[in-house]
A = this chain, B = another copy of it.
């Protein structure tokens, strides 16, 4: 089964609303082994909807449509579907009864405009909406019944009268479900009516997925380490994506049974973990700060303090993103000026003068000063040049020194991060957390 998800709405193509329905539906379809060929979004424009339905029907056997079922003049999905099916819209008495009950319960007369919400193409089936006034529609697009009227010439083409007649791709049987665009109504209708109908038909194939996150190396370095695991024709497949410097692996296993998909997924997850080792810090929705928090909690009494210059509080903010972080985090200093580094953390003036604020000795002094004052197990310090100004030939924008003070010692490293101010600061804070993570693992970072 191959699906296309079609979303209808002016607010979507105008960018005023982000379409979250399509991603949600895709996940639900993946879980029953139904591949998704494409997401398509068009405006509340009947000919655009008709064209989109026709194009989709040539490329999939399941078409899920959401939106355009409201009672107002700009809701045109049912009219477009009827036109493609070459059928009239007919009143569904059962849903009209539901609508009348709905308004009667609210002591209001049913506005005439709502009557359209009970109209569906002649051979279609009405789908109950338990959360709103728009009935859903289930229909079959049958190539033998679809007239040429439904095939739209290119908008660039001359008018049909004088122009060439374009032969359409053949449309094969495609099953269509139309749902409301309001996410809540759509989700309830999908779970209640559409999913059970699809489960009946899906010939058993199952997709199981896992996402693993890494930080520290770039996408191509990770790909090199994964080698054959990323082969395009591999099943389970392994792909990578990057967001905020975090390179994530998405592993998808498509198999005929739950048992096989699950076992194969776990095998590929294990192979990926073997290839990347400690580079993988977490999976699914785990962030670096959540993982660090769990590690610190696992060693009761372990605490961390922060001393920040160029990140200006971002590292503390990230650590405290995690509910319950007060168990291991109490003290942080933002020492944006040299004088603050001296006064609050005891950094020696001579160090600042001789090495500069962005130097490993100063970062080490900041970390040690913070650890002493907070009486914490660990302290992280960051001093760098986030730009856009302040770079020199020796220390260009992106130069960041990060230090970790820990029981018995401290160490520091210098990084050169690419990108703009925001990106450099984000990378700096994540790298500080990563240095603590490798220390807690008792391992040396491979970068």
Q: Within the complex, which residue of B36, B220, B333 is in contact with A72, where a contact is CB–CB below 8 Å?
A: B220
Given known pairs A10-B250, A55-B55, the reply for A37 and B48 (CB within 8 Å) is yes
Interface members, chain A 30-50 (any B CB < 8 Å) = 30, 36-44, 48
CA distance A22 to B239 in the complex (A): 22
Given known pairs A38-B42, A169-B154, the reply for A330 and B337 (CB within 8 Å) is yes
CA distance A30 to B10 in the complex (A): 12
A332 neighbours in B (Cβ, 8 Å): 312-313, 333-336
Please name 29 pairs of A and B residues whose Cβ atoms are closer than 8 Å in the assembled complex, sorted by A: A2-B155, A10-B237, A11-B250, A14-B26, A14-B36, A14-B209, A15-B29, A15-B30, A16-B23, A16-B27, A19-B22, A37-B48, A71-B220, A72-B219, A73-B232, A74-B232, A106-B418, A111-B221, A131-B419, A156-B169, A156-B170, A182-B243, A310-B320, A311-B317, A311-B320, A312-B313, A321-B421, A330-B339, A331-B336
CA distance A340 to B27 in the complex (A): 44
Q: Does B72 lie within 8 Å of A223, measured CB to CB?
A: yes
A74 neighbours in B (Cβ, 8 Å): 230, 232, 239-240
A344 within 8 A of B: yes
A59 neighbours in B (Cβ, 8 Å): 51, 154-155
Q: Does A320 lie within 8 Å of B306, measured CB to CB?
A: no
A314 neighbours in B (Cβ, 8 Å): 313, 317
Closest to A211 in B: B16
Closest to A154 in B: B169
A230 neighbours in B (Cβ, 8 Å): 72-74
A442 within 8 A of B: no
A418 neighbours in B (Cβ, 8 Å): 102, 106, 132
A70 within 8 A of B: yes
CA distance A388 to B321 in the complex (A): 11
Q: Does A334 lie within 8 Å of B334, measured CB to CB?
A: yes
CA distance A153 to B114 in the complex (A): 41
CA distance A308 to B12 in the complex (A): 36
CA distance A74 to B422 in the complex (A): 28
A291 within 8 A of B: no
CA distance A13 to B5 in the complex (A): 9
Q: Within the complex, which residue of B17, B188, B250, B344 is in contact with A241, where a contact is CB–CB below 8 Å?
A: B17
A77 to chain B, nearest CB (A): 14
Q: Does A319 lie within 8 Å of B312, measured CB to CB?
A: yes
Given known pairs A73-B232, A329-B336, A340-B331, the reply for A39 and B27 (CB within 8 Å) is no
Q: Does A15 lie within 8 Å of B9, measured CB to CB?
A: no
A91 within 8 A of B: no
Give 1 or 0 for each of A381-420: 1 = CB within 8 Å of chain B CB. Answer: 0000011110000001000000000000000000010111
Interface centre among A131, A172, A223 (most CB of B within 10 A): A223
Q: Does B334 lie within 8 Å of A333, measured CB to CB?
A: yes
A20 within 8 A of B: yes
Q: Within the complex, which residue of B44, B237, B416 is in contact with A106, where a contact is CB–CB below 8 Å?
A: B416
A18 within 8 A of B: yes
Q: Does B26 lie within 8 Å of A131, measured CB to CB?
A: no
Q: Does A14 lie within 8 Å of B39, measured CB to CB?
A: no
CA distance A64 to B111 in the complex (A): 42
Q: Does A334 lie within 8 Å of B337, measured CB to CB?
A: no
A122 within 8 A of B: no
A23 neighbours in B (Cβ, 8 Å): 12, 15-19
Interface members, chain A 307-351 (any B CB < 8 Å) = 308, 310-317, 319-321, 323-326, 329-337, 339-340, 343-344
Given known pairs A113-B223, A329-B336, the reply for A313 and B323 (CB within 8 Å) is no
Q: Within the complex, which residue of B30, B166, B324 is in contact with A389, where a contact is CB–CB below 8 Å?
A: B324
